[in-house]
Amino acid sequence: MKITGIRTTAVLAPLPRPVRTASGAIERFPLVLIDLSTDAGVEGRAYSLVYLPELLPALERCVAAMASMLAGRELVPRDLHDHLLKRCRLFGLKGMTGIALGGLDMAIWDAWSRARNEPLARALGAELRPIKAYNSVGLYDAASVVEIAEETLAAGYAGLKIKAGFASFAQDLAAIRAARRALGDDTALMIDYNQSLSPPEAMARCKALDDEGLTWIEEPVLADDFASCARIADAVRTPIQIGENFNGPGEMRAAIAAGAMDLVMPDPQYIHGVTGWLEASALARTAGLPMSSHLFAEAASHLLCATPTADWLEVMDAAGGLRRTPLQLRDGCVTPWDAPGLGIEWDGAAVARQRAG
């Protein structure tokens, strides 16, 4: 079976509410939808995302250019992945090229498992099972976070992650305590600093949060500052979580060697797709690290089924407004769709409404 074409569609996907972070707000998610076709009539679907709408045209061009390197080649996922790695060796696979590779790799594996008429998890040798899921939201102060916590409980999530990184630690602490009171003791609470703190400030704030019952503190400093992450992880009792910004499994390997985290959460796109995730999950197993996901809940729910140290599924449903089928949340868990591939089917009318440009 050979690849005959890959179509890209740039969209600004709707969100229930803007995602505010310490770096700014995301009003809509800039996505490049990827639709792969083969000479056997089998299709593959996935998407790539970039946080800044100004960069969406560049991402679409990058995905389309890398897709042109695959035309006419046999649909063998690992061979195609290796082919792109080799072609991009001189330029590198960080930034746009890594993002494009991740999205294309997910579309390739989707088509491959659709050709087998199996959900991706089952095609990888795993069974579909419920994965505990948390609601992932933006930056809310002590007054506004209560409504978010109540929505999280009503929806049935097992956990809530809020952004942190206010101008003062007192504001962070007030929001965390307000969320905890609203959630009660049976729902997990995580926070994400989105790399917004200097190492000294991060050390001070994280230590001061040790008695707040947090499941983890995420990315307190710059994502690639493994030395500072390691010092914080060593000094703080609350688990430190990083990983969404690993550009491929090699960076995860370096972070493990540095002792930079207690928990790890690769992003299916940045880790270089399904192929990269499988390597990352082997690293996590060897290191004994609980492994969660970042974004891309459609793919991540399947991949966590095949991950020996699977922990939490993040739900910030970037493409939810463009799919025909909602995620299946029950008893605090998401179970992957029992459909071939990733199970993504686009709502054509919704896609047409949200097209960029």
Long-range contacts of 13-20 (CB under 8 A, 24+ apart): 13/318, 13/319, 13/320, 13/321, 13/322, 13/354, 14/321, 14/354, 15/318, 15/321, 17/138, 18/138, 19/137, 19/138, 19/316, 20/138, 20/139, 20/140, 20/163
What is the edge-to-edge ordering of all strands in the sheet holding 3-13? 3-13, 29-38, 43-49
Q: Which residues of 233-265 are buried (b: 16+ CB within 10 A; e: fewer)?
A: beebebbbbbbbbbbbbebbbebbeeebbbbbb
* Greatest Cα pair distance in the chain: 60
* Catalytic-labelled residue, pool 81, 132, 163, 272: 163
Question: Is 86 among the catalytic positions?
Answer: no
Geometric angle at alpha carbon 192, from 63 and 302, rounded to 5°: 50
Q: Are 272 and 248 in contact (CB under 8 A)?
A: yes
Cβ-in-10-Å burial (0-12, 13-18, 19+) of 27 comes to: middle
User: Is residue 2 flagged as an active site residue?
Assistant: no
Q: What is the DSSP letter of 320?
A: G
Please tell me which residue in 161, 272, 294, 302 is annotated as part of the active site: 294
Q: Annotated active-site positions, please?
A: 163, 294
